[in-house]
Structure 1
Amino acid sequence: MKSLKFIVLLIGLIPGFNGMAQNFMLKGVVIEKGSNVRVALAEITNLNNKMGATSNEIGLFQLNARVGDTLLVKKRNLTDQKLVVKTDDDLVVYLVRGSTMLEEVTVKGQTKKQEMEDIKRDFKNSGSFYAGKPPLILLNPFGGSPLTFFYELFGKTPTRARKFNRYYKKELSLIEIDKFFNKSLVTSYTTLRGKELDKFLLDYYPSSSMASNWNNYDAVKYIKESAKQYTDTLKRTN
């Protein structure tokens, strides 16, 4: 029995075992501060274990970490954010839109939609008139342009344009959702604050199909009903 206690004590003193016990899968979401738009394709790096992740189309990410690790979150046109993992709770990262950038692009005062429209125009100005999806009529030898057709299919710029268009459509749907489900609205119609509010925004974020035909009444109804369900769940677990 004494030898067993000694082994347990010895394991507890070995740094490697302690470190392994503290590792967990950190889950979080990246949001643009002010607009409350979820940020897709943000780069999240754990500066301690050098592991990285990328936020998905609705801003969610997960990354191996432990309490005390430092994360670096980066996204083009937004200010880098460094933060320390303090608990194993879900993490909400707010990024601030940068006022200065390397590119000569005026972003201040633009909405996210306007910014994406500018990027689409840039692709067009670079020679991708059909965003990588050329119409078949271009193959017509009489008045068509087969070279343009094949360039749009296989050229580097049109390929990037196609990828951006997929991202663009997802972002537009998120922008529409954020009109009806955001921190300001939830704060106005519920008593949720702080970490409980952040977790509610993360857990009850509606799908694009759910919110596609919403009006203000539908949004408020969803927020109130979901908040009641959420608070009832909190009461049962506490």
Structure 2
Amino acid sequence: MVLLCFCYAFDASAQQLFTVTGTLFKKNSPVTISFATVTNISRKTPDLLSDYLGGFKIEASLGDTLLFRKSDYTPQILVVLNRGVQTIYLQPIIHLEQVTVKETSKKLELQNTLENYKKKGQYNSLNPSVMSVISSPLSGLYDLFGKSANQARKFQKFTQEELERIEIAKRYNRPLVKKTVEISDEDLETFMLNFQPFYEDIKVWSDYDIITYIKKSYGYFKDNKAQYKIQKLY
């Protein structure tokens, strides 16, 4: 009889709802995952989202199964076994073929163009040294003052800027801005154009830094929107 009462009390305790809290991380990384979907698949409760720091809260009881989902990540399941704070790691989905082919094609395209400039101009270097000018006067002077060499340097500068823009767009883009702040499609383009972060900053910022930057910048943008309005041309 005592054993029966103990089992009943244990079962009642297990069924009691409490708030499960925790943080989502990118696997093998200190980077947190914001706006991931958290679902208690053991109960018919609405899905929730992790906050911009990766934190989440959801009602559950011991034995419930939680499902964590985020685009470009492998879904993760957790069975609630205790009331402690949970740490969840999501594995990124690596699209090897698509990413590798695209990046390789871009680099090859730029490199091939530079090589074509070399063949066309028949010069030795985009940045010739003083010694190369002395040791080979005709070639060295052409490298310094030749029209094709000058065009190649301009293209090389353009290439560097283009690659930097690609890196910025990977972490500062329309979906992220729209998830971070409430902004209309009409204002989105103007805001992103005027408040694009520098490449040097993007290289060292964490996801939290970028989100903080977007929020602060958008606050300033809202208060001074008139000066950023794009003029229509007729």
TM norm structure 2:
0.44
Q: Which structure has the larger Rg?
A: 2
Higher relative helix content: 2
